[in-house]
Amino acid sequence: MLSKKLETAMNDQINAEFWSAYLYLSMSTYCSNAGLSGAANWFKIQFQEEQAHAEKFMNYMISRGNRVTLKPIEKVKTSWKSLLEAFKDTLEHEKKVTAMINNLYALAEKEKDYATKIMLNWYVNEQVEEEEHAQGMIDALTMIGDGYGLYQFDKELAARVFTPIAEEE
């Protein structure tokens, strides 16, 4: 069983993952309204991924005999000036999530909860990817600007598909 401190911190993390999901769903609807259907798809997949992150934590807590407590989800931003601004917000948000995961890891280490440390490795690696993807989008959008480049880039984002987290991970 996780300590009370870890249980509380993990419940906060579950809330943060659902907040992330809600943020990306909001970005998806913004993109749909802006005529960027590919980007809308990209953020919709991101929304699904964040829900999967929350569920992975929930399943872990239940397997350790802890109580999952779902808290209210705070409101999110609903409009952006451009797709570039949405991805800049994405990167800033993911940096905050990385810091939260690192804090969780440090707590697990302090409490000598080795199983939790091993489980958190997946999230540590995932955050490297999350930041890399957001930075990649910012770099691409800065390069292509608006107009035809953006039109083509949006088509590429339409190809993203959701991949569930593998059982053993």
What is the number of helices (H) and of strands (E) in the chain? Answer: 5, 0
Q: Which of residues 32-91 bind ligand OFO (CB under 6 A)?
A: 50, 53
What is the spatial distance between Cα 101 and Cα 124, in angstroms, rounded to a whole number? Answer: 7
Binding mask 86-115 for ligand OFO (x = CB under 6 A): --------x--x------------------
Q: What is the largest CA-CA distance in the chain?
A: 55
Choose, by CB under 6 A, the member of 7, 17, 113, 154 that binds ligand OFO: 17
Told to check if 13 binds ligand OFO by CB under 6 A, we report: no
**Torsion sign across C-alpha atoms 115, 7, 111, 99:** positive
Residue 162 contacts residue 112 (beta carbons within 8 Å): no
Smaller CB separation from ligand OFO, 86 or 150: 86
Q: Which residues bind ligand OFO (CB under 6 A)?
A: 17, 20, 50, 53, 94, 97, 130
